[in-house]
């Protein structure tokens, strides 16, 4: 009986030691793994609110030379983590060497000032302060600050391009609009002070933010707004890509080398496209070609 008790104690002691070792191993693994994720969750106090965002730093960044910044905005009821996963912009950042920031909207939405998207939150001020704070912490190429977003985030991209045209080189709204007609009244983003290059990506079968309008201003109206502001050619150069499902319309010759480009995706709905094009690849290529001048 005594030997059995001693054996039991020895087994418990061994189990305890093994458990401690496992915990230590896991702990060291977490410590080792976390920095390699290159994501940091950060908080910025602004407008009496705790605003949160994720920053992704590419492994190639060593702080010796400035690199571009891309701000990616989620859609209505979306999240920073969600748009990171669907856009895969962090992977692109690692390949090409730029920062990505994924801000969180208050109550999972952005205040764009038109339609039903009018709330008592200063999102433009938040993004402006976010850019300022990132400039203090990282070495950012100030001529290569870009904004993209999906749906409500695309609308916010339009608004930021207009309101922060002194900072933002180019925007790339996916499935968004510049405004809406509410109770017979036109509401839209303000006129920008400086030219901003714009890439619009929109599917013809989008039932949430319809290509032809129907509440929100149409894709044609959104594109015309920026073409006129940037003083681009009024008639685009059109190209149908080989699969026949994508029409690319380029309005070139804008002020300071700006362009407005529209990707019309035939029979594509309200999505961040991976087919028939990779929106992320197209957006980064556009951003790379359009620094602030």
- Each residue's pLDDT, cut to its tens digit, for the chain (293 residues) gives 444 445 444 443 443 333 323 322 323 332 233 333 578 999 999 999 999 999 999 999 999 999 999 999 999 999 999 999 999 999 999 999 999 999 999 999 999 999 888 888 999 999 999 999 999 999 999 999 999 999 999 999 999 999 999 999 999 999 999 999 988 999 999 999 999 999 999 999 999 999 999 999 999 999 999 999 999 999 999 999 998 999 999 999 999 999 999 999 999 999 999 999 999 999 999 999 999 99
- Strands 246-251 and 260-265, sheet pairing: antiparallel
**53: Cβ–Cβ under 8 A, 6 or more apart, which residues?**
41, 42, 44, 80, 101, 102, 103, 104, 130
CA gap 268, 100 in Å, rounded:
26
CB 267 within 8 A of CB 245: yes
Alpha-carbon distances, residue 192 vs 21, 186, 188, 230, 241 (angstroms) = 60, 18, 12, 9, 32
- Strands 237-240 and 246-251, sheet pairing: antiparallel
CA gap 146, 167 in Å, rounded:
9
What is residue 38's predicted lDDT score, i.e. its pLDDT? Answer: 77
Pull the structure tokens for residue 80: 């920073």
CATH of span 40-289: 3.40.50.1820
* Three-class SS state of 181: strand
What is residue 24's predicted lDDT score, i.e. its pLDDT? Answer: 29
What is residue 48's predicted lDDT score, i.e. its pLDDT? Answer: 95
CA gap 112, 124 in Å, rounded:
9
Query: HSE-up of 67 (CA within 13 Å, CB side)?
Result: 20
The per-residue b/e assignment along 37-74, b for 16 or more CB within 10 angstroms, e otherwise, is ebbeebebebeeeebebbbbbbeebeeeeebbbbbbbb
What is residue 37's predicted lDDT score, i.e. its pLDDT? Answer: 56
CB 169 within 8 A of CB 144: yes
Q: Based on the number of CB atoms within 10 Å of its own CB, is 242 exposed (0-12), middle (13-18) or buried (19 or more)?
A: exposed
Q: Report the predicted TM-score, pTM, of the whole model to 2 decimal places.
A: 0.87
Q: Based on the number of CB atoms within 10 Å of its own CB, is 227 exposed (0-12), middle (13-18) or buried (19 or more)?
A: buried
* Three-class SS state of 121: coil
């Amino acid at each position: 009986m005594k030997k059995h008790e001693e054996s039991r104690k020895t087994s418990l002691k061994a189990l305890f030691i093994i458990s401690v070792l496992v915990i230590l191993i896991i702990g060291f693994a977490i410590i080792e793994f976390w920095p390699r994720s290159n994501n940091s969750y950060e908080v910025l106090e602004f407008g009496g609110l705790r605003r949160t965002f994720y920053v992704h730093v590419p492994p190639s960044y060593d702080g010796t030379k400035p690199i571009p910044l891309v701000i990616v905005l989620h859609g209505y009821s979306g999240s920073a983590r969600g748009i990171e996963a669907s856009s895969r912009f962090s992977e692109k950042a690692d390949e090409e060497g730029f920062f990505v920031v994924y801000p969180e909207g208050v109550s999972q939405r952005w205040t764009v000032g038109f339609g039903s998207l009018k709330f008592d939150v200063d999102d433009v001020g938040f993004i402006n302060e976010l850019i300022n704070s990132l400039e203090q912490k990282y070495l950012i190429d100030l001529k290569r600050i870009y904004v993209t977003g999906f749906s409500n985030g695309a609308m916010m991209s339009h608004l930021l391009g207009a309101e922060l045209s002194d900072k933002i080189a180019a925007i790339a709204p996916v499935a968004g609009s510049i405004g809406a007609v509410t109770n017979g009244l036109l509401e839209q983003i303000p006129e920008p002070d400086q030219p901003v290059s714009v890439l619009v990506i929109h599917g013809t079968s989008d039932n949430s933010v319809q290509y032809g309008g129907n509440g929100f201003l149409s894709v044609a109206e959104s594109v015309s707004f920026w073409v006129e502001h940037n003083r681009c050619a009024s008639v685009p150069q059109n190209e149908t890509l080989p699969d026949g499902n994508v029409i690319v319309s380029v309005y070139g010759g804008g002020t300071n080398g700006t362009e407005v480009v529209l990707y019309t995706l035939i029979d594509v709905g309200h999505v961040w496209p991976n087919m028939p094009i990779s929106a992320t690849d197209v957006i980064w290529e556009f951003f790379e070609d359009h620094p602030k001048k």
